Amino acid sequence: MGKLISARQYLHYAGWFFEAKLGIKKPLVNTMIIGYECDLRCKHCTIAANADAIPGPRAMTFDFAVGKMNEYYKKGARILFFEGGEPTLWKDGDKDLRDLIHAGKSIGYFVTGYTTHGTNVIMEESDVISVSLDGTREIHDSIRGPGVFDMLVAGLEKTTHPNIFANMVVMKPNLDNVRACVEFVATNKRIKGIMLNFITPPPYDLVPTVEEKKAIVELALKLKKEGYPILNTDRALKELLDEDYSVKCPYWVSWFVLPDGSEYTGCPMKGTESCKKCGFDAVREYRLITRGNVETITGMSKRFALTKQE
């Protein structure tokens, strides 16, 4: 059964790729910002800093979320990611994130995932889980709050989930901690690898200089050669140095839906000043996939695009 499922998924992605080459551009990823609530106040988070000023609903209802999942599934999306805020805090009556994950699977999404700061329960139902890790204990806590690192590690010890990866936002406060963070991931049995991103502002004062970014990219490429589990592809790491990625960005690959119902291709920051300082690795990987880059297709698909579950 697993082989049959994989074959069906490969066929869908192959069809999506060739249609894109013919100019028929369909979304691949549906990212749902299900709510803005979070129990941390990280120094680089613009949502937390501007929570009171965000207009409209602060969270999706279950029915609205399921409706959007169905809509984008029909458009072609097969990867579903839940974001926040902190998505594990989302509730609508007796519904929580688990119900959204189950709904996504029932609709037919190949992969469901979510991003979390990791101090709450790990929801095993998800195919892939991204935990935010901005450094080793002292640095991580200086960015996210006292005791957060230990709570994250303790939470990971309670799960046997096979597909958890760390997501590090590289910025001025943790520039000198990248190697130590990668080394920590390499020794942690629960985390299968780490993705490196540069901060996308605001705040602008935390953005590394171009020279600082070059040093981090060189370090990451070196660590990869040494066998450390950095999940970014080599080409995407190098393209992180193209800060203004607006011309290259394949906006149509990923769609974002916000709690107020607004929808964005590529990123809610599209067309803003923030877009000119883009630090997201994912959009680089998406572009390389659309261009047929073999390293990216094979590296990303086995962790983020394929599942053996129906």
Sign of CA dihedral 89, 95, 98, 100: negative
Angle at 117 between CA 103 and CA 100, to 5 degrees: 5
Angle at 175 between CA 168 and CA 206, to 5 degrees: 85
- Give me the amino acid identity at 278: C
Is 74 or 4 the better-scoring residue by pLDDT?
74
Closest CA to 133 of 166, 162, 163: 166
Q: Six-digit token pair at 14?
A: 């192959």
- Is a pLDDT exceeding 90 seen at residue 146? yes
- Is a pLDDT exceeding 50 seen at residue 145? yes
- Is a pLDDT exceeding 50 seen at residue 310? no
Cα dihedral 21, 25, 29, 34, rounded to 10, equals 170
What pLDDT score does 309 carry? 47
Domains defined for the chain, CATH in brackets: 2-304 (3.20.20.70)
- Give the pLDDT confidence of 262-307 residue by residue, as tens digits: 999 988 888 888 899 999 999 999 999 999 999 999 888 877 888 7
pLDDT level of residue 50 (50, 70, 90 thresholds): low
Model pTM?
A: 0.93
Return phi, psi of residue 19, to 5°: -65, -40
